[in-house]
Amino acid sequence: MAKEGRQPSMTWLFFSPSGRIGRLPFFLAWLFWFAVGSIFLVQMMKDEGDDTALALWTLALIVSGVLSTVSIAMLAIKRLHDIGYPGPLALCLFIPVLSPIVFIGLCLWPGANRANEYGSRRNAPAGN
């Protein structure tokens, strides 16, 4: 938990469902995971002929995929909290037809400018 005057940690941003985040941090964090996956995928394609390198890049892609899935769910929960909705609605991001619509909505829908039941301020854990 961040103390007064300190910024929340990256661990909180990526892996905690507590608190609220705004549109820009949500989009930039999603873009970060997209870039990580893209880098690993490009490396896999580059090293197609080398079985050892291909296996290592494939493992890295799988690990980053698991981490990014968990992280994107936590980011969506915090984004929903900022809008004033409960976190379980983040599951809509994993329904194929709804996923793009929900993602665009989370990127564009403005959050509450006042405190709500999920936190007193944006881009901070609950209780700050």
Tens of pLDDT, residue by residue, the chain (128 residues): 445 556 778 999 999 999 999 999 999 999 999 999 999 999 999 988 888 999 999 999 999 999 999 999 999 999 999 999 999 999 998 999 999 999 999 999 999 888 888 888 888 888 76
> What pLDDT score does 6 carry?
63
Any residues with CB less than 8 A from the CB of 121 and at least 6 apart, and which?
A: 20, 115, 128
> What pLDDT score does 1 carry?
45
* Residue 61 within any structural domain of the chain: yes
> What pLDDT score does 128 carry?
67
> What pLDDT score does 48 carry?
85
- Distance of alpha carbon 57 from alpha carbon 128, whole angstroms: 40
* Residue 85 within any structural domain of the chain: yes
* Residue 113 within any structural domain of the chain: no
Question: Count of domains in the chain?
Answer: 1
- Distance of alpha carbon 47 from alpha carbon 1, whole angstroms: 42
Structural domain harbouring 78? 13-108
* Residue 116 within any structural domain of the chain: no
> What pLDDT score does 4 carry?
53
* Residue 79 within any structural domain of the chain: yes
Any residues with CB less than 8 A from the CB of 42 and at least 6 apart, and which?
A: none
Based on the number of CB atoms within 10 Å of its own CB, is 66 exposed (0-12), middle (13-18) or buried (19 or more)?
exposed
Cβ pair 43, 57 in contact under 8 A: yes
Place of tokens 């944006």: 122
Q: How many other C-beta atoms can be found within 10 angstroms of the C-beta atom of residue 52?
A: 8
pTM of the model: 0.86
Strand partners, 124: 20
Token digits of residue 40: 């690993």
* Residue 8 within any structural domain of the chain: no
